[in-house]
Each structure stands twice: as C-alpha cells, then as structure tokens.
Amino acid sequence: NSSLVQTFLTNEHLSDKFNTSHFADYLDPHLIDPKIPPRPPGKKMSTDQVGQSQELIRKLLDPYVSPLMAEESDLKLLPMTYITVCEVDPIRDDSFLHSKRLEKAGVDVQVKRYMSFHGVFQFFGYLPEFITFDAGQEIMDDL
C-alpha cells in the first residue's frame, strides 16, 4: 500500500505497546547526532492497520531480523564493527541507533556516512561508466 510508505520511512508505524516497552529505548531518536537532518514526521498507524499478531511481533523482534532489538548481553559478544550509512536509505537512522547500542555494549564501532542512496556500493568500477557512482567506489575503497 503506497499510502503507508511515508509512515514506514519515518519509523512511525510502531504500536503504543511497543513504544512503552523496553525496546523503545533502542530506537530513541535522541541518540542520533543532532547535526544529521531529521526525517520528516509521518502518520502513526493503528494496531489494526499494522495487523499485528503475537507471531509477527515475535518475528519482528528477533535480533536476526532486527539487530536493534538484540539484548545488550548479545551485543557485547560482537566483534569490531564497520557500519556504512547512506543518506537516502529507509533504515538510515537505524544504522546510527545500532552503532550507539554497539558502543554502549563496549563494541569498537566505526560509522561512515555517504551522501548517496541505499545499495550504491554495488555500482562501482566493474560496471560500464554510465552506471557507476563515485560513492560506490568510495565505499569499496573504504572497506
């Protein structure tokens, strides 16, 4: 449903039950550097619109699906982490939030922000020049 796109892009599709749980702290927008421009506000969805069920909630909170939902005790076990963030990406803010959670858990984290779109790293040197992007090559060089 295209009318819901903006809601998902702004992370305003979360239920009141979620927003009052301990998981909501993992998504605190105040953790994002204030120098990074905020996403525009979206419309909140009702529980009926989201169509939540216990199984869906369980799956969405699984840290293999949603790393932001991992418990700190699990995050502490992770190795040094490099996070690539593209400005035009629906999960851009999640990347910043995840990096803060990892840092809080004691994981050495490096975050690099690129002023490009999600998936641009696939468009570099090996492709014809008309479809390559400097940011794609920059990401590959940085890795």
Per-residue pLDDT tens digits for 36-52? 877 666 555 566 655 65
30 is written with which tokens? 């105040």
The model carries a pTM of 0.61
Q: Are 10 and 39 in contact (CB under 8 A)?
A: yes
Whole-angstrom Cα distance, residue 132 to residue 123?
Answer: 5
Per-residue pLDDT tens digits for 52-87? 556 677 787 888 888 888 999 999 999 999 999 988
